[in-house]
Chains A and B, each alone.
Chain A
Amino acid sequence: MNRELIKNFILFYCIRGPFLHDLLYTIIIWTGIAVFLMATGLRRAHIGTVIVCLSIGLCLFITRRTFFRLFKPRRILSLVAAIVTSIFLGVCLGYLMGGIIFRLLFSAVLKPNLPHVFVFFLVYVSAVTTIFYLKYQLGLSREATEQERIERLSVEKEALESKLRLLQAQIEPHFLFNTLSNTISLIDTDPAKSKSMLGDLVCYLRTSLSRTLPAATTLGQEIDIIKAYLNIQKIRMSERLSFSIDIPYALSNHPLPPMLIQPLVENAVKHGLEPNIDGGKITIKALAAEGLVRIEVTDTGNGFSPCHETGVGIGNVMERIRLLYGEKGRLILEENRPKGVKAVIEIPNDL
């Protein structure tokens, strides 16, 4: 039991904590030792005693890490060596410093005086108590806010996940029925086209209907879904829709949560190109720049009308980016020149 305690103390003392923490403990412990020595009469009640003790403590504070590293596996040996060295160094340093400072400042030596020691002791005890009390309170409140934050985040995350699931289920019925109409129409006239359209639909539905989204997907996989979606829309809108996708090969393996870019493409088609008689072009580009990956979805469609309601899709993408990447990721919507919308997603480059 006792051995265990000593061992723990040594461990605690040897293992590196935060710098200021350690310094604070060193000062508290060694002032305590000085007060103890003075109170028991082993040393004179003299500021010099405190200074000597403190310098031993500070020497130990500095040397123990070096010694610990020196005698790495043998902690007790390293501690003993550190203490011996520190006492020697500390006493020399303490007397030297104490001597110089007190000759200079007070030009007199304080007489041994019991009330002095007592007052000093009281001040010491109350200071230490205050420090520990404050630390305890601070820790408590920090813990509470941390707890609150975690709770809030988990609630938010849950809400978002359920919202996401809902969104997944809400696959645009218009799109589905129109696609099916097209495949039926094409069965007789162009069976091959009809087949490939059904294939694309399957690929698209596979992801958008799955209740549990795979956690780790890549940019390449997301682009596959987008291609499937755009191929379908291409058959529907024929010459009114053109698109180009330019993803550097190196980026296609970049991790990316699923259905993060797809809503932007869907938005571009639905609000940008479909209502426009002449349709337009969608350009999807990705590039790596300064520690981040930039993915741009540009359309040359109708652009945003100021009164058109913010789609759930866009809001959802923004929220997901904020939750997944915090300050490091963002979605920017810009007006495209001469017309249309440019949506830019920026996420940290993890490759």
Chain B
Amino acid sequence: MTYKAIIADDEKELRTYLKSMLVEVWPDLVICGEAKNGKETLAMIESKQPQIVFLDIKMPGLSGMEVARKVTGHCRIVFVTAFDQYAVEAFEREAVDYLLKPVLKDRLLQTVQRLKNILESPAESTRSYSEIVEQVLSRLAGTKHTGFLHWIKVHERDSIRLVSVNEVYYFKAEDKYTILFTRESESLIKKSIKELALELDPCQFWQIHRGTIVNVSRIDRISRSFTGRGIVKLKDRQELLNVSRNYLHLFKQM
């Protein structure tokens, strides 16, 4: 029986190369299509119904992992990656087929042999990838997207400046808006301090007053005034910030 396969990779040279290698080690395999992004891959799987997909993990648009999540039924996926530690760990653990770029002949031969064995034994012919995909994606999410605000857009005359939250010293409420203070500048942002408080990483930003959120890493020291209020002194900035009684507990046990 001859099998059909498609190759999905955003880099043309790498598709060509994998194709030439496959022709060499598995002459019977029919490469019925090449896709250069996630969407194309899904469409091609739908239309050509291949038994095997060589799927690059990192592709523009839909990533390889997101494609894999949508693949169901009788299509076997061979993940291809240049370097993704988490993914490779997960593949090893779950005994999923994968190839590392640059693809080497011996390794490809092994994979091909495995694929042949699996495809020829009818009992093992279906497999769902959603579980492993979730695993890998959640691991990747942990390192990249924390969901908290990292960039703040500041309107400046005719342009929009991007300020990294790491640069921010503190936020101060100003009516419905908020003023953002960095080392040497201050800018108005069209967001209330309440909204900001929900979007900022609470480990990095502490609300110390109804109208003040401070970047913890910019605090130089905190002292008590005669009346028992807390006063925060910042590094490199002169002004002192008041800590209201409700938030004083943040500084306890330090």
A185 x B13 contact (CB < 8 A): yes
Contact with B along A83-117 (1 / 0, CB 8 A): 00000000000000000000000000000000000
Residue from B13, B14, B60, B100 within 8 A of A276 (CB atoms): B60
For residues 106 through 138 of chain B, which have their beta carbon under 8 Å from a beta carbon of chain A? Answer: none
Which of B71-79, B158-166, B171-179, B205-213 lies at the interface with chain A? B158-166
B48 beta carbon closer than 8 Å to chain A: no
CB distance from B43 to the nearest CB of A (A): 13
> Is A184 a contact partner of B102 (Cβ separation < 8 A)?
yes
- Asked if residues B14 and A182 are in contact (CB atoms below 8 Å), the reply is yes
What are the interface flags for A45-72 relative to B under an 8 Å C-beta threshold, 1 for contact and 0 otherwise? 0000000000000000000000000000
Contacting residue for A334 out of B13, B39, B160, CB 8 A: B160
B151 proximal to A (CB < 8 A)? yes
From 180 to 209 in chain A, residues with beta carbon under 8 angstroms from any chain B beta carbon are 180-182, 184-186, 188-189
What residue of chain B has the Cβ atom nearest to residue A273's Cβ? B60
- What is the CB-to-nearest-CB distance from B222 to chain A, in angstroms, rounded to a whole number? 20
Asked whether any CB of chain B lies closer than 8 Å to the CB of A20, the reply is no
In the bound complex, do residue B11 and residue A307 qualify as a contact, i.e. CB atoms below 8 Å apart? no
Q: Which residue of A lies closest to B153 (CB)?
A: A335
Determine the distance from Cα of A236 to Cα of B13 in the docked complex, in whole angstroms: 7
A334 to B163, CA, bound (A): 9
**A177 and B150 within 8 A (CB):** no
A178 interface residue (CB < 8 Å to B): yes
> In the complex, are the beta carbons of A307 and B17 less than 8 A apart?
no
Q: Which residues of B contact A238 (CB under 8 A)?
A: 12
Contact B166 A315 (CB under 8 A): yes
Residue pair B151, A304 in contact (C-beta under 8 Å): yes
- Range class of the B interface residue count: 35 or more
Complex: A257 Cα to B149 Cα, angstroms: 31
A314 at the interface (CB under 8 A from B): yes
User: Does A18 lie at the interface of the complex (its beta carbon under 8 Å from any beta carbon of B)?
Assistant: no
Q: Tell whether, in the assembled complex, residue B151 and residue A308 are in contact, meaning their CB atoms are under 8 Å apart.
A: yes
Min distance, Cβ A1 to any Cβ of chain B, angstroms: 51
Q: Does B144 lie within 8 Å of A177, measured CB to CB?
A: no
Q: What distance in Å separates the Cβ of B99 from its nearest Cβ neighbour in chain A?
A: 11
Known: A274-B60, A334-B161. A173 touches B16 (CB 8 A): no
Residues of chain B within 8 A (CB-CB) of A185 are 13-14, 16-17, 102
B238 to chain A, nearest CB (A): 15
Residues A308 and B14 in contact in the complex (CB < 8 Å), given A173-B83, A184-B102, A333-B162 = no
Interface residues of B in 12-69 (CB under 8 A from A): 12-14, 16-17, 20, 37, 39, 58, 60-61
B240 contacts partner chain A, Cβ-Cβ < 8 Å: no
CA distance A341 to B162 in the complex (A): 9
A181 engages B101 (CB within 8 Å): yes
Report Cα–Cα, A306/B147, bound state, in Å. 9
- Structural contact, B13 and A310, CB atoms closer than 8 A: no
**Which one of B11, B20, B145, B162 lies within 8 Å of A309 (CB-CB)?**
B145
Bound together, the chains give a CA A270 to CA B92 distance in angstroms of 27
On whether A181 and B103 interact (CB within 8 A), knowing A304-B162, A327-B184, the answer reads: yes
Q: Which residues of B contact A174 (CB under 8 A)?
A: 58, 82-84
- The distance in angstroms between the C-alpha atoms of A87 and B105, with both chains bound, is 102
B152 at the interface (CB under 8 A from A): yes
Bound Cα distance A235, B14 (Å): 11
Q: How far is the CB of B82 from chain A (nearest CB, A)?
A: 4
> B225-253 CB contact bits vs A (8 Å, 1 = yes)?
00000000000000000000000000000
For B101, give its contact among A178, A277, A279, A315 (CB under 8 Å): A178
Q: How far is the CA of A182 from the CA of B15 in the complex (A)?
A: 10
By a CB distance below 8 angstroms, the chain B residues around A180 are 102
B148 at the interface (CB under 8 A from A): yes
Pairwise interchain contact A277-B61, C-beta atoms closer than 8 A: yes
A182 touches B151 (CB 8 A): no
Are B11 and A178 in contact, CB atoms less than 8 angstroms apart?
yes
Which A residues are CB-close (under 8 A) to B60? 240, 274-277, 279
The yes or no answer to A318 lying at the interface (CB within 8 A) is yes
Distance between A221 CB and nearest chain B CB, rounded to angstroms: 28
Does the CB pair A306–B151 fall under 8 Å? yes
Closest Cβ of chain B: how far from A336's Cβ, in Å? 9
B residues in contact with A237, CB < 8 Å: 10-11
A184, A306, A307: the one contacting B153 at CB < 8 Å is: A306
Interchain CA distance A306-B195 in the complex, whole Å = 14
Is A332 located at the chain interface by the 8 A CB criterion? yes
Q: How far is the CA of A27 from the CA of B61 in the complex (A)?
A: 80
Given the complex, which residues of A lie within 8 Å of B160, measured CB to CB?
334-335
Chain A to chain B contacts (Cβ below 8 Å), 10 pairs: A173-B83, A178-B82, A236-B13, A240-B10, A275-B60, A277-B39, A307-B148, A307-B151, A310-B150, A318-B164
Given A177-B82, A308-B150, 11 further pairs, Cβ under 8 A: A173-B83, A174-B58, A174-B82, A177-B83, A178-B14, A178-B101, A189-B16, A306-B151, A308-B144, A309-B146, A341-B162
Q: Give the 6 A-B residue pairs with the shortest CB-CB distance, closest first.
A: A185-B17, A177-B82, A181-B102, A333-B162, A335-B160, A181-B101
Please give the residue numbers on chain B whose beta carbons come within 8 Å of chain A beta carbons, in ascending order: 10-14, 16-17, 20, 37, 39, 58, 60-61, 82-84, 100-103, 144-153, 159-167, 184
